[in-house]
Structure 1
Amino acid sequence: MSASGVKKVVLAYSGGLDTSIILKWLKEEYDCEVVTFTADIGQGEELEPARAKAEAAGVKEIYIDDLTEEFARDFVFPMFRANAIYEGEYLLGTSIARPLIAKRLIEIANETGADAISHGATGKGNDQVRFELGAYALKPDVHVIAPWREWDLLSREKLMKYAEDHGIQIDYVKQGKKSPYSMDANLLHISYEGDILEDPWAEPEEDMWRWTVSPEQAPNEPTYVELTYAKGDIVAIDGKPMSAAEVMVHLNKVGGENGIGRDDIVENRYVGMKSRGCYETPAGTIMLKAHRAIESLTLDREAAHLKDELMPKYASIVYNGYWWSPEREALQALIDHTQQVVNGVVRMKLYKGNVIVAGRKSDTNSLFDASIATFEDDAGAYDQKDASGFIKLNALRLRVASRLKKS
């Protein structure tokens, strides 16, 4: 679709520097009507200023949607059933938010009769891939406008000059100091990139962190929480029933107070480059450890091992933007099937940045049999003589190979 064919665009809009400029740029370059969409996914920011800015820019259709519960319930929780973690460290906080935003962009485009959607992701990052793969999966013929791949405003200085020339109100400079980091926040995490973090040797400044105290400043007494699981999801904390979003809000708070969830990562982006980012993921850090603890008690050995083998693939699928793909849906069906027995309670000890499993139990699905596992007399529950044949059968190929080498 050519620029002349675009009459209405739905823009993923934050009200910040980039999307405020994109809003104006779309009107000028495409001579089209712009619908703005701002998602509340638990970033903890007041979103009404985005509405005011959109109104001031002449936008007639403004969507500001609270997607917090949907985000936690339908995206974060299914991902944590898989114990997904990318490259051994990253808990996918930004990655998992993009398919939901893409979904809502397409829904609004359908509701408003828009010809296209637009986003503010740069041509160097993963988010452009995630937004657009999601959009095409949900609406194959949608037209996507990615300004960072079209315009020549490829530096902050040029963006600031454009904003000044066009009278665009921005909050990029506050009290005479440039905001040093590119940040993204939602209910699962907050990320930091740019400025001194572009040097992988530089230690993050302590005043950068927003959600967590440093482990050194965390309380000297541990905090205990009991997490109740039903079919792989946390449904209550300390006996109090909670929704998915309420669970995450609570764990972010207690985790942050105990210095939990900081991470400093150099990751491999899907577009080919390495990037360094810092993350705070208090709730996710606790949830991953606790979920593995309850699975260790309730999940069959081979089912658990199969999940562990598939997890890196699942994590890469989410990281690379294929949430709406048939392979993710197939993996999810398998994972969710295993979770039918993942029921019980895990007691977690939070102390100075450490997440420690202090106990786990399941009254209905525990596969742990103390009468078999005991070091004391098991009263015939396990015949230790059976181990001889088991060992010899499993050693057969090793013995054959060893004889061959010696001959």
Structure 2
Amino acid sequence: MVAYLSPIPFYLSSLCIAIATLKGDILEDPANEPKEDMYMMTVDPEDAPNQPQYVEIGIVSGLPVSVDGKELSPASLLSQLNEIGGKHGIGRIDMVENRLVGMKSRGVYETPGGTILFTAVRELESLTLDRETVQVKDSLALKYAELVYAGRWFDPLRESMDAFMEKITATTTGSVTLKLYKGSVSVTGRRSPYSLYRQDISSFEGGKIYNQADAAGFIRLYGLPMRVRAMLEKGI
């Protein structure tokens, strides 16, 4: 990581392959908009190309391995996505956060490659993970982030969560196509040999496996607790 200290005006910035961090100067007032010349990795979305760019991310067991069909090392892959995303103004984050010591801090971040990868992996997981697994993964992700932020990388809990993540993402393999345009990342397609999505089941036109008439009984049972409470309130 490289850190920069600007004498006039006073603001601190740091830059590594994953993220650029901007703090201080006018940013200490959360009402102030960042100055455009503070940014190091991304162009202003308003100045980004007027034509969108499509990019396909290949993923194996939850880990990105290729861009547009070309396999790359992790560092090369992230560097390329930083360049592509930065050109389209992707990955600017302006937030007020809670520091480890308790105070609140306003920071501006740039992570073009990280934003693209997060969107791609998250979207592929929507195909390959069931509902309950996604919910547990999301709840653990917050704790995982807290441990890393607090400098507890070697905590046994973090290692245990890694084992869980490795297990559940074993089938998160496939590809996701994204559309990059003026600061936005939109998913346009996703595919996986381990997809849990079945068109013959999910179709609104009906199918042999899922009979929409079955929903009537489920709805009555699912709503039973609320129905009983309503009866109690009405004295029935």
TM-score tier after normalising by the smaller chain length? over 0.9
In the other structure, the counterpart of 1:225 is 55
Q: Does 1:372 align with 2:201?
A: yes
Number of positions where the alignment pairs a residue of Structure 1 with one of Structure 2? 235
2:127 aligned to which of 292, 297, 302: 297
Partner secondary structure for residue 216 of structure 2: helix
Corresponding position: 1:391 with 2:202: no
Amino acid at match of 1:365: Y
The equivalent of 1:314 in structure 2 is 144
Corresponding residue SS for 2:177: strand
User: Percent sequence identity over matched residues?
Assistant: 48
Query: Any conservation in 2 of the 1:347–1:358 contact (CA below 8 Å)?
Result: yes
Answer yes or no: is the 8 Å Cα contact 1:182–1:192 preserved in 2. Answer: yes
Q: Taking CA–CA contacts closer than 8 Å with sequence separation of 6 or more, which of the two structures ends up with the larger relative contact order?
A: 2
1:382 aligns with 2:210: yes
SS in 2 for 1:332: helix
Aligned residues of 2:128 and 2:171 also touching (Cα < 8 A): yes
Inter-CA distance 246–264: structure 2 relative to 1 (3 Å threshold): same
Question: 1:228-247 residue pairs with structure 2 within 5 A?
Answer: 228-247=58-77
Specify the alignment match of 2:180 in structure 1.
350
Q: Given the superposition, is the C-alpha separation of residues 292 and 172 from structure 1 closer, same or farther in structure 2, using an over 3 Å criterion?
A: closer
Match of 2:45 among 199, 207, 215: 215
**Normalization by structure 1: what TM-score?**
0.56
Match of 1:102 in 2: none
1:377 shift after superposition: 4.1
Q: Which runs of 5+ in 2 are unaligned?
A: none
Q: Is 1:199 aligned to residue 56 of structure 2?
A: no
Do the aligned residues in 1 keep the contact of 2:59 with 2:173 (CA within 8 Å)? yes
- 4+ long deviations beyond 3 Å: none
CA contact (8 A) 1:189 1:279 kept: yes
Classify the secondary structure of the residue corresponding to 2:223: helix
Structure 1: segments with no counterpart, 5+ residues: 1-40, 46-170
**Cα pair 1:231 1:343 within 8 Å, conserved:** yes
Equivalent in the alignment of 1:180: 10
TM-aligned CA deviation for residue 381 of structure 1: 2.1
Give the Cα–Cα distance (whole angstroms) in 2 for the partners of residues 190 and 211 of structure 1: 7
State the AA in 1 paired with 2:196: L
SS across alignment from 1:345: strand
Q: How far is the alpha carbon of 1:376 from its aligned partner?
A: 2.0
Larger radius of gyration: 1
Which residue does the alignment assign to 1:359? Answer: 189
Question: How far apart, in 1, do the equivalents of 2:160 and 2:30 lie?
Answer: 37
Q: Output the amino acid matched with 2:218.
A: F
Give yes or no for contact 1:232–1:343 (8 Å, CA) kept in 2. Answer: yes
Matching of residue 278 in structure 1 with residue 124 in structure 2: no
Q: TM-score, normalised by structure 2?
A: 0.94
Could you list the per-position Cα deviations for residues 248-281 of structure 1 after superposition, in whole angstroms to 9, with x for gaps in the alignment?
1011000000001111111110101111111111
SS in 2 for 1:368: coil
For residues 394 and 178 of structure 1, what CA distance do their matches in structure 2 show? 63
Kindly indicate whether the alpha-carbon contact (under 8 Å) linking 2:100 and 2:150 is maintained by their aligned counterparts in 1. Answer: yes
Q: How much does 1:309 deviate?
A: 2.2
- Structure-1 separation of matches of 2:190 and 2:91: 22
1:2-401 matches, within 5 Å, as 43=2, 178=8, 180-362=10-192, 364-378=193-207, 380-401=208-229
8 Å CA contact 1:172, 1:179 repeated in 2: no
Q: Distance in 2 between matches of 1:213 and 1:233?
A: 27
